Amino acid sequence: MSDAPRILYCHCQYAQVVPPDVKQSVLKHLSDSGVAFDAVADLCEMSARKDPALKRLADGSPVKIAACFPRAVKWLFHQSGAPLPTAQAEVLNMRTLTAADIIASLTRPELNPNLPSGKSTASDAPSQ
């Protein structure tokens, strides 16, 4: 079994806050790469419905999430009863990073604690 983090791509379908060219470039790269990844239409909508799939996605294994603001993504998981594993989740902000930066991080097998957008830390994890 690989130590590489799972990849989750959020299309941010309903909020429409991520630049379309960034979403398209990241999704095309993932699709063309042959790497396994999960794609969801909208994490916000899944969280609002308390979709049980979020628990599977936050199962404690390393995960890289291409979505929007890291704090928002962490709270979406927390609100739905599926908190992300603090030390094993990296959220890549498609609102502020370039597609090239996101793709570079997604293709690295390790989590990147130096990426400004997002490795989850205990200090910004949701509290009860």
pLDDT exceeds cutoff 80 at 97:
yes
pTM (2 decimals)?
0.82
Write down the mean pLDDT value for the chain: 85
For residue 92, report the phi and psi dihedrals to the nearest 5 degrees.
-100, 125
**In the block, which residue shows the tokens 């097998």?**
109
Does residue 81 register a pLDDT over 60? Answer: yes
In this prediction, residues 57-75 reach a mean pLDDT of: 92
Place of tokens 């996605």: 57
Domains in the chain (CATH in brackets) are: 6-120 (3.40.50)
For CA atoms 11, 62, 126, 54, give the dihedral sign.
positive
> Strand, coil or helix: what is 9?
strand
